[in-house]
Amino acid sequence: MSRPNAESKPDPWRVPVTVAHIPDTGLHRELEASAAERQAMAELAGVREILSAQAAVDVTPTSGGRIHVTGHARARIGQTCVVTLDPIENEIEEEIDLMFAPEAEARRLADLIEEGRDDKDVVDPPEAIVAGIIDLGRLATDALFLAIDPYPRKSGVVFEAEVSVADPEDHPFAALKALQDKKKGK
């Protein structure tokens, strides 16, 4: 999961979890972004504002050092209607369901898929666990960014394009036709 500006700006909402500290029974986290985090997220997403952002996630260890993260993220965002240019607010919600694996295994599985080798257990390669940490804030941010409508509209507003009937005498060869008509008239 990567955002267009991921390399140029730091992640605005960080909630790192050290994999070594996850109990065998897993853990549950309720997250809420601060005002400063929401403002940075809004700038990165290109929306007017993010009024609220929360996530609820379950982090569960599985076999082979893998970690399964499930849950959902939700937010209330302020955007601008693409038709009326009025400010509007939208509720968004997105499910989170990702598998993480140690970095070397994740890279190996991604290479297998890229090479076209069929591994029926690997439809989507797992995300890499980088430096022993999974950032739940980044997962929630990425999930929310996927749910943002790039062309938001105010409820009930429909874009109606202006339709005009073309003048049948207005075409690329109109000047030639005029010359031909003038010639015939002589």
Supply the pLDDT for residue 168. Answer: 67
Supply the pLDDT for residue 4. Answer: 44
Query: Which residues, in sequence order, are CB contacts of 73 under 8 Å at separation 6+?
Result: 53, 54, 55, 93, 94, 96, 139, 140, 141, 143, 144, 147
Supply the pLDDT for residue 177. Answer: 77
Supply the pLDDT for residue 116. Answer: 65
| Token pair recorded at residue 27 | 């853990």
Supply the pLDDT for residue 120. Answer: 56
Supply the pLDDT for residue 5. Answer: 42
Supply the pLDDT for residue 166. Answer: 67
CA dihedral sign of residues 138, 139, 142, 144: negative
Supply the pLDDT for residue 85. Answer: 92
**Ranges of each domain in the chain:** 16-185
**Which stretches of the chain drop beneath a pLDDT of 50?**
1-6
How far apart are alpha carbons 82 and 35 in whole angstroms? 26
Task: Convert the pLDDT of each residue in 100-114 to its tens digit.
Answer: 999 888 888 777 777
- Residue 21: DSSP 8-state: G
